[in-house]
């Protein structure tokens, strides 16, 4: 079974600073996808960034980037130039490429951006 672990229940960062959220996962699959979702106070689920396991290059979306280390099964999210609007719950998620198992989420990290 696949598991996703987020070891930081809460984090805070000063506005304009950089913060890194940790995520590790456990799987026997060789090809899979990893995601970071953001859930602001409105409780929507918003896809932030996606990484395909067979791609060695780390994904980047504007201020958001990942550090994907396949051997270590680690998938951290770096937020640069943090903004007040980044305040949210952040969930790491995993799905194998087989398509026959569901997306598995971690328990989340609550990020607070402080002015």
Partner 1 sequence: GAGVSQSPRYKVTKRGQDVALRCDPISGHVSLYWYRQALGQGPEFLTYFNYEAQQDKSGLPNDRFSAERPEGSISTLTIQRTEQRDSAMYRCASSLTQTSGSGELFFGEGSRLTVL
Binding-site ranges for partner 1 (CB under 8 A): 6, 32-33, 43-45, 47, 50, 52, 89, 91, 95-108, 110
Q: Which of 86/106 has CB closer to partner 1?
A: 106
CA-to-CA distance for 27 and 32, rounded, in angstroms? 9
Shortest Å, Cβ 60 to partner 1: 17
Which residue, 68 or 91, is less far from partner 1 as judged by CB?
A: 91
Least Cα distance to 20 among 63, 53, 70, 73 occurs for 63
DSSP at 17: -
Shortest distance, position 49 Cβ to partner 1, whole Å? 11
Q: How many residues does the chain have?
A: 115
Tell me whether residue 19 or residue 106 sits nearer to partner 1 (CB atom).
Answer: 106
Nearer to partner 1 by Cβ, of 44 and 60: the residue is 44
The residues, ordered by sequence, that sit 6+ positions from 29 with a Cβ below 8 Å of its Cβ are: 2, 96, 97, 98
Q: Alpha-carbon distance 23 to 19, whole Å?
A: 13
Shortest approach of partner 1 to residue 57 CB, angstroms?
A: 17
Q: Minimum distance from CB of 63 to partner 1 (Å)? A: 19
């Amino acid at each position: 079974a696949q598991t996703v672990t987020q070891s930081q229940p809460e984090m805070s960062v000063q506005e304009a600073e950089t913060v890194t959220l940790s995520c590790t996962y456990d799987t026997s699959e060789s090809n899979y996808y990893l995601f970071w979702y953001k859930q602001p106070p409105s409780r929507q689920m918003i896809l932030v960034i996606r990484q395909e396991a067979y791609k060695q290059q780390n994904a980047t979306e504007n201020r958001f980037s990942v550090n994907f280390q396949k051997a270590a099964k680690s998938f951290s999210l770096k937020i640069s130039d943090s903004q007040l609007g980044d305040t949210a719950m952040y969930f790491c998620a995993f799905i194998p490429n087989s398509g026959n198992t569901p997306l598995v989420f971690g328990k989340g990290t609550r990020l607070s951006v402080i002015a």
